[in-house]
Structure 1
Amino acid sequence: MSHRKARTADIEQRLLIDAIFHRYHYDFRGYAQASLKRRLGTALLHFDCATISQLQDKVLHDPAVFPALLEYLTVQVSDMFRDPSYFQALRSEVVPLLRTYPSLKIWVAGCSAGEEVYSLAILLHEEGLLERTLIYATDINPHALRAAESGVFDVARVAAFTENHSRSGARTSLSDYYTARYGRVVFHKALRDHMVFSDHSLATDSVFAEMHFVSCRNVLIYFERDLQNRALGLFRDSLCHRGFLGLGSKESLRFSAHADAFDDFVLEDRIYRKKAGL
């Protein structure tokens, strides 16, 4: 692509993101532009558009297009118990402190299809804490939220889920928590009874409850610095006194505007604790 065409494509991308914000109130202006460019490139093929301007025309004039485009802009593929050492650290370092609370509120921000939500619910059940816990699972993609709430996953993914679960220090078998049928697995309703699924944007929405633990893993890497700082400010404000924050393996608080609000707790697994007095 020539420099002129690339510059034009960058302008078109900014105009599309502005159009989405003004028409549908979804704010992608603080997302990493390189990541959006890759996703939009794939979307152009799907929608049979030669340019982003053509896609913008469809987004503005065909109400059916935007929900489909949202799938390209937001959905992240994850695994249950992704990065098992993170869940081992939760079991050994965080859970003993969570036990001291009579009830628990946990926020999984950017929950996508729900892999992290079900992983935490199973871990908490294994540790005897699920009965006193409410897990808030949020995302901006309504299709992803519906998928997460259903608790249904392709059976082909379960082998990897099971391996991660075993390596996370599991006290049970993952198969104890789901029923397999017709090439899919359905996680038990007893887990979902402790989950609340809700639309929430880290770009535009505010804090909605006081949490003991916030998990937002592999989401901030798709944000530019200002939006990262906004999201981290929400997490700081939502956490109770000495609450915990878990980030993804490639994410850090070190250079954020809110680094001074947290202590490193299990740094190698990106688990932080809100400082006293904040």
Structure 2
Amino acid sequence: MTDDRGVWVHAMTRGLRDEGLVGVSGAGGSPVRTVQVGGLVAVVADVDLDDYGEAALRRNLGDLAWLESAATAHHRVAEAVWRHGPVVPTRLGTVYRDEAALRTELADRRVDLTATLDRLADRTEWGVKAYASRDRRPTGQPDDADGASPASTGVGTDYLRRRRARLAAGEATARAAVDSAEAVHTMLTRYAEAARRHRPQDRGLSGVPDWMVLNGAYLVHAERGAEFGELVRTLGTRYPGLRLELTGPWPPYSFATLGQGEST
């Protein structure tokens, strides 16, 4: 490997050989290969550091088109590895200057990575999002049933009273949605082996007009996936003010991520 070539690490696993990844491409479209150290396996793609070094990554991570393409390739590799056994997906953009630096990292973290792979064996990640409708009436839009303003009706006191009542009702509805989402998360957490709450996505990113009140990730044994899905459906019926969206199963991105390589 020349000095201007680095390795993009997609995932960590064990017991996987190169022949199990035939036809799988990773970062930059490069074919993936394995680097094995003491029973651990890193699944990597060789990359040009002019395009994937520290400065290039800082620039490219702000390019939405590049980011989408890189994330798709990263996820594709993690899923391919996951089909063969437990996987620790790495953070997007984990690049080492050379294979020697990666081998040193694997040796230094062998105990922790082995324990993590043991914990994730036969486990999958499920995502649950909860949405609630929320009135986002533009400021100044009339609240009266007939659209009249206080100036036109001459009953400003009654208008303000109705407006305050509507605002209070909206706040109560919002609180009820948050409380319901909290209850859903609590029950899903009790069922799962581990849980994470991610920040709710902005409407502009999610493409959903409703208000996201829960963005949860749950680690579930592979044999209990159907039961977990049934629990989500039951909770959706129990809390009709929420719309629950179930996604998965996925590799356990939320529960096992190796950080950025020191060499980037």
| TM-score calculated relative to the size of structure 2 | 0.24
The structure whose Rg is larger is: 2
Richer in helix (by share) = 1
Structure scoring higher RCO (CA < 8 A, sep ≥ 6) equals 2
> Which structure carries more strand by proportion?
2
TM-score, normalisation: structure 1:
0.23
